[in-house]
Amino acid sequence: MTLSERFNRAIEYAVAGHAGQVRKGSSIPYFSHLLAVAAIVLEYGGDEDAAIAALLHDIVEDSGGQPRLADVRIRFGDAVAAIVAGCTDADTTPKPPWRGRKEAYIARLAGEPAAVQLVSAADKLHNARSLLSDHYEIGSVLWERFNGGRAGTLWYYRNLIAAYTKAPPALVRELDRVVTALEARAAIEHRN
């Protein structure tokens, strides 16, 4: 597949929309995550709309709410906007409480179309890989970055895996392997 100029415009839009943002607990530009998610989407068979949505999957949540979603729809079309909306767990500031927001997202995700589940699972795979890598580097202090802590974060990932019934099975298996490794590391730290 050849990506069009539209994909390039989405890169520029995502860079501008997430300007100055970094990954939790690091100085890594947030945009690196968006590129990684788009790469995973393409690796698992996503089309250009899904790859663009991967670049923009957090822009509503982190940079503008519903007005931003309307702008995404105008610039990139209904299909991209629908995927972005499906990947968004909150579009208000402040966000609703963490646990209820995640429970609602999991419940809704189960009924979302395959393209939404693909982008969401790619996002979670990259996040879980980062968590596992960081756990090896800094240990249990990692959990302090997250509202759900260790137990809540692991609960969330395990329930997402169960909800991904329309995502590519190989992607879900890879996410399961990474989360299983993360759970094993967490169990070891919990025993010590």
Helix (H, G, I), strand (E, B) or coil at 178: helix
Phi–psi pair at 29, nearest 5 degrees: -55, 135
Q: Which two three-digit tokens encode residue 78?
A: 């209904």
The identity of residue 115, as a single letter, is: A
- Dist CA 174 CA 180 (whole Å): 10
The single residue listed with the structure tokens 């945009």 is: 31
Supply the residues annotated as catalytic: 61-62
* Closest to 160 in 3D by CA, of 76, 115, 80, 104: 104
Phi–psi pair at 104, nearest 5 degrees: -65, -40
- Between the CA of residue 148 and those of 35, 97, 98, what are the distances in Å? 25, 10, 7
